[in-house]
Structure 1
Amino acid sequence: MLTMPKHRWPAVSAAAALLGALLTFGTSPPADAAVPATIPLQITNDSGRGEALHIYTLGTSLTTGQQGWADANGTFHPWPAGGNPPTPAPDASIAGPSAGQSRTIRIPKLSGRIYFSYGQKLDFRLTTGGLVQPAVQNPSDPNRNILFNWSEYTLNDAGLWLNSTQVDMFSAPYTVGVRRGDGGLSSTGRLEPGGYNGVFNALRAQSGGWGGLVQTRPDGTVLRALSPLYGVETGALPASVMNDYINRVWQKYATTTLTVTPFANQPGTKYFGRVSGNVMNFTNSSGAVVTSFQKPDAGSVFGCHRLLDAPNDQVRGPISRTLCAGFNRSTLLTNPDQPDASAANFYQDAVTNHYARIIHDRMADGKAYAFAFDDVGHHESLVHDGAPQQAYLTLDPFN
């Protein structure tokens, strides 16, 4: 299967690495799986909201590399050339089902996003480099006051990967599912009853500025909670919010060795980290230094980038993924063997990614994509099958 780097396009995106992450953990489809050019996606509107619903299937063709959109029949349309300043994109919206109803469309083989918005169409623009995604951390973004969300998916000859994601923001609730080739149904992403409002209430109650992540419309309607990365970048969350934990980790591993076993299916592949000065150096089993990390800041931790960059390789990237998960879950001080396998150990330090903690706590199955490498240890909200019969997107109640 293809390997894709985890990155933003332009925002940190969990799905951009679905194939790469699954390759890392040894997932492969049946050898004889036959995936058609399009598969049905059933969209069910259980939101209880009366506004018109607008659906979009946007992404990159894995055969041509073109960016574009798909209509309700699953036909792919490349975007026209953009401009500078950005020019309006063609209207790619599909009318969604009204409250209490379902509609089935078809989705083609691409890697991208399925957006949905309530009451108002999204404003997409095209630059000379391609599509501009909504960036609601920017107060002047035209989509800032629209209630919307998205799922991320990859469909190719190896099957379907479909997730629910909170990597960029927590907003309109939904569940994803797949009817597998064996006829069984897998689903994830559903909040517990009261979980939607519970996330916002818990963020507001969390000391340290976490309530600043919550965004509302001028009329007071709650729209979303920004990810802590965006909170730090915009000043909604203090940039020093993780400093105490990061400093304690660096202090601990100046005298203790951090052992990283990045591949679940390769238990013999281990790397050993020690801090010297401001740098954590990792050696292999032969004692050779294979990569080094400067002490990260909160933005690097929450975004799993910059000082914790994770290239799509077999050494630095896998080590960085593991470090990033350990920092966000606050397991690095309590367990010198990473990744920590037990969710019961996550988020126990007073200094942690409380956004991720709060979201995971309110998921019915405990699974979420609350930061970019939440798939370390398989704690992500993802469904996959090598021979999918049908995909599902259920828009859940706002309670």
Structure 2
Amino acid sequence: MPHRLTRPALPLAAAVALVGGVLVFGATDRADAAVPDTITLTITNNSGRSEPVHLYDLGTQLSSGQQGWADADGTFHAWPAGANPPAPAPDASIPGPAAGQTTTIRIPKFSGRIYFSYGSKLDFRLATGGLVQPAVQNASDPNRDILFNWSEYTLNDSGLWLNSTQVDMFSAPYAVGVRGGGGTTAETGHLKPGGYTGFFDALRAQGGGWGGLIQTRSDGTVLRALSPLYGVETGALPAGAMDDYVNRVWQKYTTSTLTVTPFADKPDTKYFGRVSGDVMNFTDSSGAVVTSFRKPDASSVFGCHNLLDAPNDQVRGPISRTLCAGYNRSTLLTDSDQPDTTPGDFYQDAVTNQYARAIHERMADGKAYAFAFDDVGDQESLVHDGDPQAASLTLDPLN
């Protein structure tokens, strides 16, 4: 089945728009935009692996809304028409660097992904609705036994947003960076020494089905851990993994009030949640009900969707993303004022998103996109610059 594109998670203060069905960072047009049509992306292979690396730059061209790919020079190529059943896509691969080497390509004004794979090229297909991307939660996906990963990015007239993401899976480690016009460089995504194997060891030791998220190849190679959302969807993780915590939240806010202040730059905008039966109603300062949520299940919590849907508006979406962060980090019982932005408060309950906890504990700077709204409280692994001169992607060791 077609893969769900993970939304490049968005800082609350940034402008956002939908372009060709893709959520775009900083989408405000600027007459004085100085961002060039392409910038360089240097890929450094510090993985220590001997297999060839294959690169892909896939996404939506922001000037046209067309989906396609870019070659090593940053030239855009639109996908041809798809078929049913999906037909093989044109080979969009770019040769990557050998171990210890670098490769520099140019990336255009896209909202999309930079994929990289070790050993084998990825299998992309075109359906009548567009590109079918790898969906390794499906046992029959042709990419299931390939070691690969991806970064998400938006480059537009307002700058570059480039992230390291674990929203769908935790796999081959990498870091991202950007150099701005002032010469400053930002980088994120590196693991602590031993963090890669340490993460998988932590899931195996956790119990409760969390080790079931790990996928291995027949030769014993550990390939990835699925996100808990996909774990629930595939039956690898119990569907009731968050029920105990959600039930306790429901009980608490039947007799007390949950206060949500969703915008850091608007501290006077507050919403007040109380549970009535199977619904949590939120009111504004006048007492009017502005939105309501039914009791979420684990899929809704881990995916920040379904019963915790977050539309691109100024009320329900911001409340929902705050709730999503609170459920995944298990801070809703210990702090009635949300969001709780103190990392030391996160993942302290016995019932929590153990996948996200294990990732954050092993990141060198503590930052990650371990679930869709991990940017609440600035916990995301994202670099941004309004005047990007160059970007980088570093393939790190699997140890």
TM-score, normalised by the number of residues in structure 1: 0.95
Q: Note the alpha carbon deviations across 1:297-348, whole angstroms, 9 max, x for none.
A: 0000000000000000000000000000000000000000000020110000
**Corresponding position of 2:205:** 205
Match of 1:225 in 2: 225
Alpha-carbon distance between aligned partners in 2 of 1:99 and 1:48, rounded to the nearest angstrom:
6
**Contact conserved, 1:44 with 1:101, CA < 8 A, in 2?**
yes
Q: Say if 2:242 and 2:298, in contact at 8 Å, map to a contact too.
A: yes
1:26-48 deviation per Cα after TM superposition (whole angstroms, max 9, x unaligned): 98999955100000000000000
Deviations 1:336-391 (A, max 9, x none): 00000201100000000000000000000000000000000110000000000000
**Aligned residue type for 1:163:** N
Partner Cα separation in structure 1 for residue 207 and residue 264 of structure 2: 36
1:360 maps to which residue? 360
Q: Is the 8 A contact 1:329 1:352 kept in 2?
A: yes
Contact 1:330–1:348 (8 Å) recurs in 2: yes
SS of equivalent residue, structure 2 residue 10: helix
Per the TM alignment, residue 12 of structure 1 is displaced from its structure 2 partner at its CA by 5.2
Question: What CA distance in whole angstroms lies between the structure 2 residues aligned with 1:249 and 1:99?
Answer: 49
Q: Which residue of 2 aligns with 1:386?
A: 386
Q: Is the 8 A contact 1:43 1:102 kept in 2?
A: yes
Query: Where does residue 22 of structure 1 map in the other structure?
Result: 14
The aligned counterpart of 2:21 is none
What residue in structure 1 maps to residue 340 of structure 2? 340
* One-letter code aligned to 2:272: F
Give, in whole Å, the separation in 1 of the partners of 2:145 and 2:259. Answer: 45
Give the equivalent residue in structure 1 for 2:54. 54
In structure 1, distance between residues paired with 2:358 and 2:84:
40
Given residue 14 of structure 2, which amino acid in structure 1 is its aligned partner? L
| Contact in 1 for aligned 2:43/2:104 (Cα 8 Å) | yes
Cα distance in structure 2, aligned partners of 1:260 and 1:216: 41
* Alpha-carbon separation, structure 2, partners of 1:20 and 1:319: 12
Q: CA separation in 1, counterparts of 2:190 and 2:369?
A: 12
Cα pair 1:162 1:384 within 8 Å, conserved: yes
Work out whether residues 53 and 117 of structure 1, in 8 Å CA contact, stay in contact via their aligned partners in 2.
yes
* Aligned partner (choices 6, 30, 33) of residue 13 of structure 1: 6
What is aligned with 1:169? 169
Structure 1 match to 2:376: 376
SS of the counterpart of 1:352? coil
- What amino acid is aligned across from residue 23 of structure 1 in structure 2? A
SS for the counterpart of 1:254 is helix
Shift of 1:169: 0.1
Which is worse superposed, 29-38 or 113-122? 29-38
Whether the 8 Å CA contact 2:26–2:158 is kept in 1: the answer is no
Is residue 39 of structure 2 the alignment partner of residue 39 of structure 1?
yes
Question: Once the 2 structures are TM-superposed, how far is the Cα of residue 181 of structure 1 from its aligned partner?
Answer: 1.5
Structure 1 residue 20 displacement after superposition: 6.8
1 CA distance for matches of 2:293 and 2:306?
A: 10
Question: Does the C-alpha gap of structure 1 residues 19 and 56 become closer, same or farther in structure 2, counting only changes over 3 Å?
Answer: farther
Task: Map Cα deviations across residues 70-124 of structure 1 (whole Å, 9 max, x no partner).
Answer: 0000001000000000000000000001000001000000100000000000000
Task: Give matches, 1:81-160, under 5 Å.
Answer: 81-160=81-160
CA distance in 1, matches of 2:251, 2:32: 52
1:300-319 equivalences in 2 (<5 Å): 300-319=300-319
What's 1:271 paired with? 271
Q: Deviations for 1:2-40, whole angstroms, at most 9, x for unmatched residues?
A: xxxxxxx8325141x43777338x989999551000000
CA contact (8 A) 1:46 1:99 kept: yes
Identity %: 77
User: 2: distance between equivalents of 1:109 and 1:20?
Assistant: 22
> Partners of 2:10 and 2:198 in 1: how far apart?
28
Distance 1:31 1:364 in 2: 39
State the shift of 1:63 in Å: 1.5
Matches within 5 A, 1:234-273: 234-273=234-273
Give the AA of the match of 1:389: Q
What secondary structure does 1:148 align onto? strand
Distance 1:31 1:288 in 2: 40
Amino acid corresponding to residue 298 of structure 2 in structure 1? A
Q: How far apart are residue 207 of structure 1 and its match? A: 1.7
Deviation at 1:61, TM superposition (A): 1.1
* Aligned residues of 2:12 and 2:263 also touching (Cα < 8 A): no
Q: How many angstroms does 1:239 deviate by?
A: 0.6
Match in the other structure for 1:324? 324
- Separation in 2, partners of 1:23, 1:83: 35
Matched letter for residue 391 of structure 1: A
Q: CA separation in 1, counterparts of 2:110 and 2:387? A: 15
Which SS does the other structure have where 1:389 is aligned? strand
TM-align CA RMSD: 1.7
Match of 1:289 in 2: 289
Say which SS state the counterpart of residue 300 (structure 2) adopts.
helix
2: CA distance, partners of 1:77 / 1:99: 29
Residue identity matched to 1:382: L
Q: Which residue is equivalent to 1:5?
A: none
Deviation of 1:62 after TM superposition, in Å, equals: 1.3
Q: Distance in 2 between matches of 1:119 and 1:28?
A: 37
Q: What is the identity, as a one-letter code, of the residue corresponding to 2:10? A: L
Change in 2 beyond 3 A, CA 1:20/1:85: farther
